[in-house]
C-alpha cells in the first residue's frame, strides 16, 4: 500500500543542529517508530553531510528484518546542496531552506532531496515535530507555519549534567533563567539587549574558581568545564541562548541519556523541567538492536576489518585502542597527540586513529612512524560501531561526547577520556570517578583554564609534552594491569544495564510507550 493511502498516518518531522552526534540517536528511534506502527511516517530533514551516515545508521537498526513498508515510511532528505561540514556554516543554510520543505509536507505535497535528487511522495501533514533544542531558529520556522497545532518535542542528545550546568536552576549548579535575567537587567540599566545577552549568556565562561555542585556530578571548579584551548571559535553565548530558547519553546522533551549512567542527575532534570511544565521522556541509550552482542557492519571499510582481524591474531583480544575525537574536536597541541601515538608504538600497543575533524592534521613525520611501526591505522573516517564491537578492540581514547560514550559502553569497552568542552568534561568526571569505567587524561589539558587545578585532584597539568608522554605510558601500563581489569569489569556491568533498558520492563521502553500514549501512537 502506498504511503499516500494511509489517511490516518502519524507523520513526524525531525530536524537538528548540524552536528552528527545530535542526529545519530534519532536515526535509531525513527527506525523503531516506523517498525512499531505501520501508520507512522517519519521525515528527517538533515544537512547534506549527514545523509549517508543517517542511511547507514538506520540500516544498522533495520538489518534484514524491516519490511519494505517500514523502510519506505522513513524518508531522509537534505533541503539544499553544500560541500561544507562546518556546523556553523551549515546552520544558516538549513534555517534558510528548511521552511520550504516543511511547508510542502504540511501542504501534503511531494518533496525531494536537493542533494541526491530522490523524490518522496505526498503524505498526510505532520502531527508532531522533533527538533534539536539547539535548533531554536528551526523551531521558530515550524511555529510560523503550523503554530501550536503541531507539537514540538525538543531533542536533547547530550550528557544531562552539563545541560543542568548551562541551562538548569541555580540551586542545581546551573545558570538559572538567563532570558529573564536579561529582561531585568535591560529594564534596570537601559543597556542594549545584545550587550546584556552577550555578557549574561557567557556566564559559564567567566571562571573565578567557584565550586560547581551539580546533582550526580563530582564537584568541579567552574574552569574545569573548559579544559582545552580550542582550534576554533565557538559562539558560546549564542549557543547557550539557542539552547535555553529551544527548551522553553518545546511542548515536551526527549532525553537520550539513561538512568544507567546518571540517575541522580536525571531525577534533578525531571524536577527542573516540571517547573517549566515540560513532560520528559528518557529514552537512551539509542543503539542498534543487538548492539554489544552482534558484530556491526564495517560499512565498506575493508581496510579497518583487515587491520582488526590481523591485530586479533597477532596481539590477541582487547589489544587495540581506538582513538577518535568525533567530527569537530581535535587537539590544538599537535605535539600532544603525536606523543600519545609514539607511546603506543613504543609500547607495541596496536591502535586505530581517526582524524575526521576539519581542524585535524598529522605531520609527515608521525605518519611515517605509524606506517613503519605496522601497529597503527590512520583514517579520516572509520566505522566506529564496528570497531568497538570487534573482539580485537579493548580501549577507546575519546573526547567523551555522549554518543561515543554510549557506543563504547554499549560494547563493554572502557574509556580513556580527553575532554575538550561542551558536555565532555562533566561526563569524564562521572565516568572516571562515579562509575569507574574510564581514566581521564590530565596532562593533555591546554589553555588558561586547562592549566588550573582540578578540585578532585588538587592540581593541574604540568603543561609539557614530556608530562603527556609520562602519563600516557602509565595509562597504557594500567590498562594492561589490575586497574584495567577493574574498569573493564565495570564497563561490562554498564553494558548489561544498557541492554535491559529497551527490554520488556526497562526504563527506555517504558518511557517510549509513555510518549506513544501521549501522542496517540498505537505500538505493535
Q: What is the pLDDT of residues 299-357, one digit of tens each?
A: 778 899 999 999 999 999 999 999 999 888 899 999 999 999 999 999 999 999 998 88
Q: How far apart are CA 58 and CA 63, in angstroms?
A: 8
Q: Which cell numbers hold the place of 313?
A: 591474531
pLDDT score recorded for residue 6: 57
Q: How far apart are CA 497 and CA 316, in angstroms?
A: 27
Share above pLDDT 70 across residues of the chain, in percent, rounded to a whole number = 98
pLDDT score recorded for residue 297: 77
Q: What is the pairing mode between strands 415-417 and 393-398? A: parallel
pLDDT score recorded for residue 3: 58
pLDDT tens per residue, range 435-471: 999 999 999 999 999 999 999 999 999 999 999 999 9
pLDDT tens per residue, range 200-258: 988 888 889 999 999 999 999 999 999 999 888 778 888 899 999 999 999 999 999 99
Q: Which cell numbers hold the place of 482?
A: 589490575
Phi/psi-derived region of residue 355, left when phi > 0, alpha when psi is between -120 and 50, beta in every other case: beta
Whether this model's pTM surpasses 0.75: yes
Which whole number is the average pLDDT over 92-115?
Answer: 96
pLDDT score recorded for residue 86: 82
Which whole number is the average pLDDT over 184-195?
Answer: 92
pLDDT score recorded for residue 1: 43
| HSE toward the beta carbon, residue 261, CA cutoff 13 A | 33
Which whole number is the average pLDDT over 154-180?
Answer: 94
Higher local confidence (pLDDT), 523 or 63: 63
Which whole number is the average pLDDT over 165-172?
Answer: 96
pLDDT band at residue 100 using 50, 70 and 90 as cut-offs: very high
Which whole number is the average pLDDT over 287-294?
Answer: 87
Exposure string of 121-145, with b = 16+ CB inside 10 Å and e = fewer, is: eebbebbbbbbbbbbbbbbebbeeb
DSSP state string for 232-285: S---HHHHHHHHHHHHHH-SEEEE---TTT-HHHHHHHHHHHHHTT-EEEE---
Share above pLDDT 90 across residues of the chain, in percent, rounded to a whole number = 82
Q: Measured on CA atoms in the order 147, 150, 154, 155, is the torsion positive or negative?
A: negative
pLDDT tens per residue, range 114-124: 999 999 999 99
Of 87-91, 160-164, 310-314, 483-487, the one with minimum mean pLDDT is 87-91
Q: In what order do the strands lie in the sheet with 376-379?
A: 376-379, 351-354, 320-324, 393-398, 415-417, 438-440
Q: How far apart are CA 206 and CA 113, in angstroms?
A: 43
Amino acid at each position: 500500500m502506498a504511503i499516500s493511502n494511509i489517511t490516518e498516518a502519524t507523520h513526524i518531522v525531525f530536524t537538528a543542529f548540524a552536528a552528527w552526534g545530535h542526529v545519530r540517536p534519532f536515526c535509531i528511534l525513527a527506525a523503531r517508530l516506523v517498525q512499531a506502527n505501520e501508520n507512522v511516517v517519519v521525515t528527517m530533514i538533515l544537512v547534506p553531510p549527514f545523509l549517508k551516515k543517517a542511511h547507514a545508521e538506520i540500516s544498522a537498526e533495520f538489518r534484514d528484518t524491516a519490511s519494505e513498508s517500514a523502510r519506505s515510511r522513513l524518508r531522509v532528505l537534505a533541503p539544499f546542496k553544500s560541500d561544507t561540514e562546518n556546523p556553523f556554516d551549515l546552520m544558516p543554510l538549513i534555517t534558510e531552506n528548511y521552511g520550504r520543505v516543511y511547508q510542502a509536507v504540511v501542504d501534503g505535497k511531494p518533496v525531494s532531496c536537493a542533494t541526491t535528487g530522490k523524490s518522496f511522495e505526498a503524505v498526510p501533514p505532520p502531527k508532531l515535530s522533533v527538533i534539536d533544542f539547539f535548533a531554536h531558529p528551526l523551531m521558530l520556522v515550524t511555529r510560523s507555519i503550523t503554530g501550536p497545532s503541531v507539537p514540538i518535542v525538543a531533542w536533547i542528545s547530550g550528557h544531562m549534567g552539563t545541560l543542568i550546568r548551562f541551562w538548569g536552576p541555580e540551586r542545581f549548579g546551573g545558570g538559572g533563567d538567563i532570558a529573564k535575567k536579561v529582561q531585568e537587567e535591560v529594564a534596570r540599566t537601559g543597556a542594549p539587549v545584545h550587550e546584556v545577552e552577550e555578557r549574561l549568556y557567557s556566564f559559564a565562561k567567566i571562571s573565578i574558581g567557584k565550586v560547581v555542585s551539580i546533582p550526580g556530578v563530582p564537584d568541579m571548579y567552574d574552569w574545569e568545564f573548559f579544559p582545552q584551548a580550542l582550534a576554533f571559535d565557538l559562539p558560546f553565548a549564542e549557543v547557550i541562548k539557542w539552547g535555553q530558547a529551544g527548551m522553553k519553546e518545546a511542548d515536551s522533551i526527549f532525553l537520550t541519556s539513561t538512568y544507567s549512567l546518571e540517575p541522580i542527575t536525571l531525577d534533578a532534570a525531571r524536577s527542573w523541567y516540571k517547573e517549566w511544565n515540560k513532560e520528559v521522556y528518557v529514552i537512551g541509550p539509542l543503539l542498534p538492536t543487538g548492539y554489544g552482542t552482534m558484530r556491526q557492519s564495517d560499512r565498506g571499510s575493508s581496510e579497518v576489518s583487515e587491520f582488526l582481524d590481523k591485530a586479533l591474531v597477532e596481539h590477541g583480544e582487547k589489544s587495540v585502542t581506538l582513538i577518535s575525537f568525533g567530527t569537530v574536536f581535535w587537539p590544538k597541541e599537535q605535539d600532544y597527540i603525536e606523543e600519545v601515538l609514539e607511546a603506543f608504538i613504543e609500547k607495541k600497543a596496536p591502535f586505530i586513529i581517526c582524524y575526521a575533524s576539519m581542524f585535524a592534521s598529522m605531520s609527515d613525520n608521525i605518519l611515517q612512524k605509524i606506517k613503519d611501526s605496522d601497529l597503527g591505522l590512520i583514517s579520516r573516517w572509520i566505522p566506529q560501531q564496528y570497531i568497538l564491537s570487534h573482539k580485537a578492540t579493548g580501549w577507546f581514547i575519546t573526547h567523551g561526547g555522549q554518543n561515543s560514550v554510549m557506543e563504547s559502553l554499549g560494547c563493554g569497552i572502557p574509556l580513556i577520556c580527553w575532554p575538550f568542552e561542551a558536555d565532555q568534561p562533566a561526563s569524564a568526571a562521572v565516568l572516571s570517578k562515579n562509575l569507574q569505567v574510564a581514566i581521564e587524561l590530565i596532562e593533555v589539558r591546554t589553555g588558561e583554564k586547562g592549566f588550573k587545578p582540578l578540585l578532585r585532584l588538587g592540581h593541574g597539568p604540568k603543561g609539557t609534552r614530556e608530562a603527556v608522554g609520562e602519563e600516557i605510558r602509565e595509562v597504557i601500563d594500567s590498562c594492561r594491569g589490575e586497574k584495567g581489569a577493574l574498569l573493564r569489569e565495570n564497563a561490562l556491568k554498564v553494558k548489561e544495564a544498557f541492554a535491559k533498558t529497551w527490554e520488556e520492563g526497562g526504563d527506555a521502553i517504558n518511557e517510549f510507550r509513555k510518549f506513544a500514549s501521549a501522542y496517540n501512537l498505537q505500538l505493535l
